[in-house]
Chains A and B, each alone.
Chain A
Amino acid sequence: MEILSLLSPMFFLLVMFGVLVGIIFGAIPGMTATMAVAVCLPMTYGLDLTNGLALLLGLYVGGISGGLVPAILLNIPGTPSSITTTFDGYPMTQKGLGEQALKTGITASLFGGLFSALVLFLFAPTLADFAIKFSYIEKFLIILFALTVIASLSKRLLVGLFSGALGIWFSLIGTYDISVGGNGEYRLMPEFLVDYLESGFSLLPVLIGMFGLGTILQEAEKGVREEAVDSVKFQKGAAFSFSVFKGQFVNLTRSGAIGTFVGMLPGVGGSAASVLSYTQQKNFSKEPEKLGKGAPEGVIASESANNGLTGGALIPLLSLGIPGDSTTAVLIGAFTLQGIQLGPLFIGENLDTWNVMMVAVIFANIVMFTIMFFAIRHIAKVVTVPKYLLYPGILMMCVVGAYAINYGVMFDVWTLLIFGVFAWLGQKVGLEVAPFIIGFILGGQAEVYFVKSLESFGTLTIFFTKSPIAIFLWGLIVISVAYSVHHTVRAMRRKNGGSGV
């Protein structure tokens, strides 16, 4: 039982600290779980893998959960995934049921989080065992599938695909590494940058730049307006009772399952999960007319789904090495930092780490529930912390994260600036950040799998004929693209019909 020796008091303290900081990040509108993980990453540089994971997973669970606080109290989603929590949470607050709404959401979050942890525990090793049999061809097709799924859920399919391809392009800058069978030659960069970009752009400065500085530049452009909130007051209303969950088991389970499933799809994000589960609840509700007017079942559907994401997004990350969302994309960087290669072999070769992760996820959910359930009145005050104090601190931590990642390389700090500005300009022209990031993370692997497959087999047809799995993956790729084309065409027709053009 080596796992017991890894679970020190420090491990549990770090989970608790991570959850608390994550909740604070999630509760502040405009800050996300991704930002929490990115900004706190430098703290893991001095920790071993077990303790580092404890902190990061605590941040992840806390960050996703904290979003319900401003969603319910201020009608502002703290994170994108809590958008549907505003639909019923805020009307409940207006009726004087703010505390009841918060506690309902917190309890639903706990259920969703534990449900997804269970699915993660059961499903990730099975998927990893299956994925061990994959050759380079199937691995390349999985990456292609991941990119098409993300792109198909973008606002515009073509722009999503373009963003993903652009991410791949950026990932190819540098040397075609000899250690992966390359010829050691440089490409896609001018001669004078060879010293800096020999190994390409480092992943974490890119992520920190896009999610940290990029977000702050967007806010600066809008004038860093404070929300008109000086204090949060809980009106006197009906006290919270668990009886609100009576008859909601199906809702809880269905929403948790939707969140977990959507989390498994690479890059889809929490908003899709909560919107989908909220819509389903509306379809199946006995009183659908009450949803949107302060019905607890709406808060339950939304919150169970967005915490269901946490375990779901870790499934492709741990079993295939493909991040399920932008937060788990940052986690990939943290694993790489600790010398751990994620993929089908990860669980089998790092059984103790896997068990530790499961303990951390479950414990983080319990801590999240305990902290938020019993201290919600105090945590709610976080939404009033002014941005003019927060953003400079976040930028400072971004710099530490970027500088220290390769033990003191100033070029990584400039990378942060380059990609921060790039993300800010990119969102103006409609660039989709999620496909870009996934393309950037998986681009190098995609090249190796594609080129080595062709070098071995000498024909493109091998990608279609290698195995039944390859054919199955092509089927999934076609379905995801067809779904998106159908969706886009329908939306365009509706728009044209509506405008009378």
Chain B
Amino acid sequence: MNQESDPFSIAIDFPQSHLFFPNIVHWVLLILALSIALVHGREIIHHVQGWAESYREHGLDYDRLRLFGTLGLVIAYFLLMNWVGQLFPNTGMGFLLVSMPFMALLSLLYVHDINRKKVLIILANAIIAPFMAWYVLAQLFFITLP
């Protein structure tokens, strides 16, 4: 078959072949985004207007403390775990030592109607759970931990 006479024929340049499929995906994403705007545009605008109105009247309706507290604690957890882990390499101590305060703080962040009994349970959980995970995974299964 003469390829030049076929309007659907395609020749892929090998040195540039890594961009061939991603470029198609870009076009597909663009076309789909435009189609969404066209079909659901009015619905989206209504939704945004409703949200803006609700924001003006009631402000943002979410638990800022718990949301941003979670994000902050998670980021601190990852950073500290790595840092402590480098102080005690190949022992999993970074995981063990940082997981305990992380779990305690996150539980305290999430708990409602806090009382002495709940605090004791939280602290016990924060000590036992990371220790169990560290012991089973790092000591019994020899799994790499920070």
Stretch binding the partner chain, chosen from A38-46, A104-112, A352-360: A38-46
A75 to B35, CA, bound (A): 39
User: Which residues from 183 to 229 on chain A have a C-beta closer than 8 Å to any C-beta of chain B?
Assistant: 183, 185-188, 213, 216-217, 220-226
Chain B, residue nearest A226 (CB): B112
- Is A450 a contact of B141 with CB atoms below 8 Å? no
Task: Please encode chain A, from 409 to 439, with 1 for each CB lying within 8 Å of some chain B CB and 0 for all others.
Answer: 0100110010001000000000000000000
A384 to B38, CA, bound (A): 47
Closest 8 CB pairs of A and B: A46-B141, A176-B18, A388-B110, A223-B63, A408-B144, A392-B106, A460-B8, A392-B103
Chain A, residue nearest B112 (CB): A226
Q: What's the least CB distance linking B108 to chain A, in Å?
A: 8
Q: What's the least CB distance linking A409 to chain B, in Å?
A: 9
**Is A475 interfacial (CB-CB < 8 Å)?**
no
- Is B21 a contact of A410 with CB atoms below 8 Å? no
- Is B143 a contact of A169 with CB atoms below 8 Å? no
- Is B10 a contact of A454 with CB atoms below 8 Å? yes
Stretch binding the partner chain, chosen from A316-324, A364-372, A393-401: A393-401
Number of A residues near B (Cβ < 8 Å) is 64
User: Which residues from 30 to 87 on chain B have a C-beta closer than 8 Å to any C-beta of chain A?
Assistant: 32-33, 35-36, 39-40, 62-63, 66-67, 69-71, 74-75, 77-78, 81-82
Q: Which residues from chain A contact B133 at a C-beta distance below 8 Å?
A: 396-397, 400
Q: Which residues from chain A contact B20 at a C-beta distance below 8 Å?
A: 451
Q: Which residues from chain A contact B11 at a C-beta distance below 8 Å?
A: 458
Tell which of B14, B17, B29 touches A166, judged by Cβ atoms closer than 8 Å.
B29
Q: What's the least CB distance linking B117 to chain A, in Å?
A: 12
Task: Please encode chain B, from 1 to 33, with 1 for each CB lying within 8 Å of some chain A CB and 0 for all others.
Answer: 001001011111011011111101110110011
Q: Which residues from chain A contact B67 at a C-beta distance below 8 Å?
A: 217, 220-221
**Is A241 interfacial (CB-CB < 8 Å)?**
no
Tell which of B62, B82, B107 touches A221, judged by Cβ atoms closer than 8 Å.
B62
Stretch binding the partner chain, chosen from A57-65, A154-162, A466-474: A154-162
User: Which residues from 133 to 162 on chain A have a C-beta closer than 8 Å to any C-beta of chain B?
Assistant: 156, 158-159, 161-162
- Is B66 a contact of A224 with CB atoms below 8 Å? yes
Binding site for A on B (CB under 8 A): 3, 6, 8-12, 14-15, 17-22, 24-26, 28-29, 32-33, 35-36, 39-40, 62-63, 66-67, 69-71, 74-75, 77-78, 81-82, 95, 99, 102-103, 106-107, 110-112, 121-122, 125-126, 129-130, 133, 136-137, 140-146
- Is A220 a contact of B75 with CB atoms below 8 Å? no
- Is A169 a contact of B25 with CB atoms below 8 Å? yes
Q: What's the least CB distance linking A59 to chain B, in Å?
A: 16
Binding site for B on A (CB under 8 A): 42-43, 45-47, 156, 158-159, 161-162, 165-166, 168-169, 172, 175-176, 182-183, 185-188, 213, 216-217, 220-226, 386-389, 391-393, 395-397, 399-400, 403-404, 407-408, 410, 413-414, 417, 421, 446-447, 450-451, 454-455, 458-461
- Is A403 a contact of B36 with CB atoms below 8 Å? no
A sample of 19 more A-B contacts (CB under 8 A), given A403-B145, A450-B21, A458-B11, is A42-B137, A46-B141, A156-B36, A162-B32, A188-B22, A224-B63, A386-B111, A388-B107, A388-B110, A388-B122, A392-B103, A393-B129, A400-B95, A408-B145, A408-B146, A410-B82, A447-B21, A454-B12, A459-B8
A461 to B75, CA, bound (A): 50
- Is A392 a contact of B71 with CB atoms below 8 Å? no
21 contacts between A and B (CB under 8 A): A42-B137, A43-B137, A165-B29, A172-B21, A176-B18, A220-B110, A221-B63, A223-B112, A392-B110, A396-B133, A399-B77, A400-B143, A410-B82, A446-B21, A450-B21, A451-B20, A455-B17, A458-B9, A459-B6, A459-B9, A460-B10
